[in-house]
Amino acid sequence: MARLTARRGYSLSTKPADAARELRAAIDQPGMRVVLLFCSPSYDLSELGAAIRSEFACPVIGCTSAGQIGPTGYQPGGIAGASLASDELEVHSYLVSPLSRCRDQAHEVAAHVKAKLRGAPASRRAFGLILVDGLSLAEEALTSTLYQSLGNVPIVGGSAGDDLRFESTAVYWEGEFLPGVAVFSVFETTLPFRTFKLHDFRPTDKKLVTTASDPSRRLVKEMNGFPAADAYAELIGIPWEELNPKLFSRNPMMLRIGSDYYLRSIQTVNPDRSLTFYAAIEEGLVLRLGQAIEPISALAKGFEEGTQGLGTPSLIIGCDCVLRRLSLESRSLDGQVGTTLAASNVIGFNTYGEQFNSVHVNQTFAGIALGG
């Protein structure tokens, strides 16, 4: 079985045992090496975890989400997943816990991975997939430490969600959905793959400087010397009391790192008019307001560049920020984009943040395209 075969499926059943059984029926195939799955946080997760372990004998990688991406496009409830089968694929997963010690844990995991990769045939390449508690505030430290420790292994990941409740997110590990952890999975294969990212914003000349912040809490207290919510609201031309997630999704801030701009998106307005972001923001940073570009063409261009040389991918593992979907919904474009994702063989989820190599990003689609 030199080639890769991928099967995608989903279930909208609200009963954990039925959902796991229906998903297995949809994606079951001989020689499964790994199953990827993403689920609504509305399930009884202890029952769902046990049902998943009962249904699948192969390794399973998954987490709760703020929406799934599957064969029908954007999927607001239920569970979606895919199985991968190939003699040319090996997957090994590592639990990173507790995330309060994620740097030390990441160094230990990286040492195990490097030792294993040293013994791999020269024809094999590897990439990493991170799934992490989306409320842990640990993504920056975890991602940068893993990438810097591993050196030449590309990394893509997503922060688990809970449908914008911001109460509890969980990552699947050996029959349980666990809060406060990450799972780092290393895929080794001789088959072609590419990692890529895309977004649909460009930086404008409208700027704000962070003048008071608490990066450990992703909290920005002041911008330009004023309460952060006041300064941001004035920048986009509305009263601060009217700020909401859909406005955040359409008006992100952008930070320049090297020659590239990365999105820094707002999560919530706090009673003291500070802003909580989805990524750490340090004092003294210059942030530019992002301006949306046409999302359909941006998606098409990003997928064309991201899958170059692979032909039609057998599967794209997609970590797509929930704010991207909210922005699309506000313009009634979510159905069209969801159809494109489904036709492009994407399996994935709407995240509370994305990881790409060493950087934790926001409002971005981070993907791994697998050739077959």
pLDDT digits (tens, 9 = 90+) for 301-326: 999 999 998 988 999 999 999 989 98
The more confident residue out of 273 and 258 is 273
Q: What is the mean pLDDT of residues 229-250?
A: 94
CB 277 within 8 A of CB 159: no
Q: What is the mean pLDDT of residues 277-289?
A: 94
User: Can you give the pLDDT at residue 291?
Assistant: 93
Residue 348 pLDDT > 70, yes or no?
yes
User: Can you give the pLDDT at residue 25?
Assistant: 98
Residue 1 pLDDT > 50, yes or no?
no
Per-residue b or e along 332-344, where b marks 16 or more CB atoms closer than 10 Å to that residue's CB: ebbeebbeebbeb
Residue 361 pLDDT > 80, yes or no?
yes
Q: What is the mean pLDDT of residues 198-219?
A: 96
Residue 81 pLDDT > 60, yes or no?
yes
User: Can you give the pLDDT at residue 255?
Assistant: 93
φ, ψ dihedrals at 345, nearest 5°: 65, 40
User: Can you give the pLDDT at residue 2?
Assistant: 53
φ, ψ dihedrals at 127, nearest 5°: -140, 160
Which domains can be identified in the chain, with CATH numbers? 5-198+295-370 (no CATH), 201-292 (2.40.30)
Q: What percent of the chain has pLDDT over 70?
A: 99
* Position 246 confidence tier, pLDDT thresholds 50, 70, 90: confident
CA distances (Å), 254 to each of 236, 271, 314, in order? 14, 24, 33
